[in-house]
Amino acid sequence: MTDSWHQGAAAVVTLTFDVDAETPILAQGRRYAQHASTMSHQAYGPDVGLPRILGILDDLRVPATFFVPGWVAEQRPGLAGSIVERGHEVAHHSYSHRAPTSMTPEEERADFERALAVFAGQGIEIAGHRAALWEASWQTADLVAEHGLRYDSSLMGDDRPYRVATRTADIIELPVHWSLDDWEQYAFLPAPHVGSVIESPAKVLELWRAELDGMRRYRCLFNLCVHPFLSGRPGRAEALRRFIEYALECGDVRFARCRDVAEAAAGDPDLPTRRPRPPAADPEIYPG
C-alpha cells in the first residue's frame, strides 16, 4: 500500500488556507481600497485569523498548506517565511487574485510569473499552485508545468488526486469542491457582493464531518479550503478545531501537506491521467 497516494489511509486530509487578505476585494475594483471597513474586514485574516489558526495547528500537531497571493507576501514581508518556519507549506495563489478566466493569456502569464518572483526573492520554495477563485483557464496547467511546479489544486474532476497532461510534463491535480470551502458558508460583504448567507459553525462542522465519513468509505482526498478572514473568527475557529480533532479520533485518516500528497501521487502507478480540453460548443447551439 505504500506506493499508493493515500499510503494506506482511509482518507487523506489536506488542510489548506487561502491567505487572500485584501486581494479578492481589490480584484473587484481598486476603488474598494478607499473602503476602510471593508479593508479592515480583509486585514483581519493575516493579522488575527492566521495567528489563531497557526496556534490550533500547533496544538493539534497537524501540517497544512497556505496558498498565498504574491501581493500579500510582498505587502507583508516575513509572513510567508513565518508559515514555513512552523513546518507548513506556502504555495502559489496568483499575484493579484484576479481570476485567470478574466485575463488574457499574456496577463495570466505575467501575473503567474510575478508571484513566483516574489517568492523567489523571499527564499520560499514553491511546489504547487491554486488559481484565484478556482477559475483556472485552459492555459493554467501548462503554466504550472512550464515553471517546474509539481501540482495544481484548482480543478474538480475527481475526489482523488489525478495526473493532468500538459504540453511539457504531467502535473498532479489535487481536486477541490465548493462543499469543502468555507467561503460558501461564511462570506458576506455588502459591497462588493461576495455572499449573503452566514451559516452556523455547527452546521459547517456537520457538513465537513459527513463529507469526511463518506470519503473514508471511498478512500478520497479531503481537500479543505479555509480563509483566515472567515474561519479565523472565534466560533468558526473552534469548529475547525473540532473537525480536526474528529478526524484524528477516526484513527484511519492521514493529514499531509499538499506537496507531500503530490509527491506520493506522482509515484503511484495506478493514478489516472486526464487531458482536460474545452468541450465542443457549437455557436448555433450555445451562443455567446
Average pLDDT, the chain: 97
Which pLDDT band holds residue 129 (cuts at 50, 70, 90)? very high
Looking at residue 278, the DSSP 8-state letter turns out to be: P
In angstroms, rounded to a whole number, what is the distance separating the alpha carbons of residues 18 and 208? 18
Query: What pairs with residue 12 in β-bridges?
Result: 221, 254
Q: What's the whole-number mean pLDDT along residues 119-130?
A: 98
Cell of 244: 480536526
Supply the pLDDT for residue 2: 57
Confidence check: pLDDT of 64 > 90: yes
In angstroms, rounded to a whole number, what is the distance separating the alpha carbons of residues 268 and 280? 32
Biggest CA-to-CA distance, the chain: 58
Give the CA distances from residue 253 to residues 70, 97, 174, 193, 217, in Å, rounded to whole numbers and listed in that order: 32, 32, 17, 37, 11
Domains and CATH numbers, the chain: 11-274 (3.20.20.370)
Confidence check: pLDDT of 183 > 50: yes
